[in-house]
A and B are shown apart, each in its own frame.
Chain A
Amino acid sequence: MTLTLAGWCFLIAAWAAIGGGAGWCIASVLRSGGLHGDDET
């Protein structure tokens, strides 16, 4: 049994969506800083 073209498509699409989504979220968190009204550095 090997990965079919459709299998590759689902694998890549899911990984890209989740990896990209997680990356975007973390970048947004880093950009917007800490908790509001917080004095964390």
Chain B
Amino acid sequence: MAAQRERWGSRFGLILAVAGNAIGLGNFLRFPRQAALNGGGAFMIPYFAALLLLGIPLMWVEWAIGRFGGRFGHGTLPGMFARMWHHPAAKYLGALGVAGPLCFVMYYTVIEGWTLAYACFSAVKYYWGVDTYVEMTRFLGEFQGKADISGGARYFSSILPVVGFFFVTLGINIWVLARGVTAGIEKLAKVAMPLLFVFAAILVVRVLFLGTPDPAQPGNSVAAGFAYLWNPNFSLLSSPAVWLAAAGQIFFTLSIGNASIHTYASYLRDTDDVALNGLTTSATNEFAEVILGGSIAIPVAVAFFGLDQTRAIAQAGSFDLGFQAMPLIFQRMGVLGPLWGTLWFSLLFFAGITSSVALAQPVMAFFQDEFRWTRRRAVAATGTLMLLGGLPCVLFLKHGFLDEMDFWAGTFILVVIALVEVVLFAWVFGIDRGWAEITRGADISLPRVMRGVIKYVTPTFLIILLAAWFWRDALPVLRLQGRNAADAPYLWGARAMMLAVFVLFTALVAVIWRRRHRREGLL
């Protein structure tokens, strides 16, 4: 059974694909904002603590679970959990690991479409002349269909452009998935990731040489931007919120808990290394985040807008920084402005697409491995589900539909999946067997202290993180606190859709295991 599954073509391709999965928009937009708002250089203390105690251990756990599942022909969590824990509930817990990434990719593809659109807009100077922050907000709002255009549209008179870019992005994703693991995902990673690094490096060099763009305002400089990002504010370290922000950032940046690493690792052979591969993908991601991501958006924003306005933009959100501030900056960067804009949004698109195909692959693997569907049939079903779930995110964006999905599928569920998997791995499957899985075929020797970290520290860290998030964020979100009453039907609609996806995959898991039980006498 396992022999019929696809395999990675090369280690280089595998590492680039998993690094591409991890490197997303968050590396270039979310990290610098989080660091700037949460203590600057001092943020790196909780950030590195979370990387060592949460990120890297979970990365190894996910790679090990994935390769273990692949041994039995399972590319997704239902089968993997069922092999790790011989209890009827295990496979249903695993259904979260198919429904979760599917809900995630439904709205992520929409955001990816925005990056593609803005790359095109930059290349043809479509937003040139939109020269104030307020107007750029209007431009983005009209493009996304959020702005009220009843009094007349200034830039986009309908949502057709955003829908069009969503379709194009979805089509590219489906095309890559349809080509399979080696010819599709791996080849994409081999092209997109080097391009991403080259584009980011070019932009970093350009930013470093910007100096003080307006000599009349000597305080607005790249140096001041780096100072804003790196000068430590130690007083914030006593705030639990800063530690939570660091842990959350590590979670999102490494793509932990969205079940995509498991699926990618399931295409490994039993003797392939997971320890060094997992560490290398983490390190590659950190390089893209801290060194490249930290050297573009915030420093350049301070250089052009000054400290106070950049602080206000950063507080407003990551997308304000990426889609409103940056287009204004590119217009002020001279004759090569369109080039810098195209590079910036193209690198965001590459970061996005290498993540979205990874998020879609668990669904593909579920249909292919468990239902024995052909790749063509699996991609048709996956693409249809992505389309059906993505469209409401586009159409009801102004009602908070996408944000609601982002909170539950892109934030909350990740922590739940990570907690479930680490408890199953370390306590049910057993840390001895688990450690043997991590170190099997390892190309590096791992410190045994990490056994204790995986068994005790990481689950405790996750329980604290989950409890704090639930108390601080989930309860207010659940109760729709501060939300417009008119948006409530749409927010409940988003929740109903996510619940329906989970129920669908739980039911499919039940069907498959009943069939298998009849066929093999196993449950």
Instruction: Report which A residues bind B (CB closer than 8 A).
Output: 1-4, 6-11, 13-15, 17-19, 21-22, 24-26, 28-29, 32-38, 40
Contact = CB atoms under 8 A, between A and B. Distances in A.
A10 B269 contact: no
Given A1-B224, A6-B231, A22-B283, A36 B219 contact: no
A18 B224 CA distance: 23
Given A26-B283, A35-B269, 20 more contacts: A1-B227, A1-B307, A4-B227, A6-B232, A8-B230, A10-B232, A11-B41, A11-B230, A18-B287, A25-B276, A26-B284, A32-B276, A33-B11, A34-B11, A35-B8, A35-B11, A35-B268, A35-B272, A37-B271, A40-B11
A4 to B, nearest CB: 5
A18 B268 contact: no
27 contacts: A1-B219, A1-B227, A3-B223, A3-B226, A4-B231, A6-B232, A7-B232, A9-B41, A10-B230, A13-B44, A14-B41, A15-B291, A18-B286, A22-B280, A22-B284, A22-B286, A22-B287, A25-B276, A26-B284, A29-B276, A32-B276, A35-B11, A35-B14, A35-B268, A37-B269, A38-B272, A40-B9
Contacts of A24: 283
Contacts of B11: 29, 33-35, 38, 40
A32 B273 contact: yes
A1 B217 CA distance: 12
Contact of A32 (B230, B286, B307, B443): B443
A18 B290 contact: yes
B441 A36 contact: yes
B40 interface: yes
A11 B231 CA distance: 9
Contacts of B48: 14, 17
A40 B280 CA distance: 19
Contacts of A33: 11
Contacts of B284: 22, 25-26
Contact of B223 (A2, A21, A25): A2
Nearest to B8: A35
B353 interface: no
Contacts of B15: 29
Nearest to A23: B283
Interface string B279-296: 110011011001100000
B10 A10 contact: no
Contacts of A26: 280, 283-284
Given A4-B227, A7-B227, A7-B232, A19 B291 contact: yes
B504 to A, nearest CB: 35
A29 B16 CA distance: 12
B386 interface: no
B226 A11 contact: yes
B276 A7 contact: no
Contacts of A29: 11, 15, 276-277, 280, 443
Contact of A18 (B42, B232, B283): B283
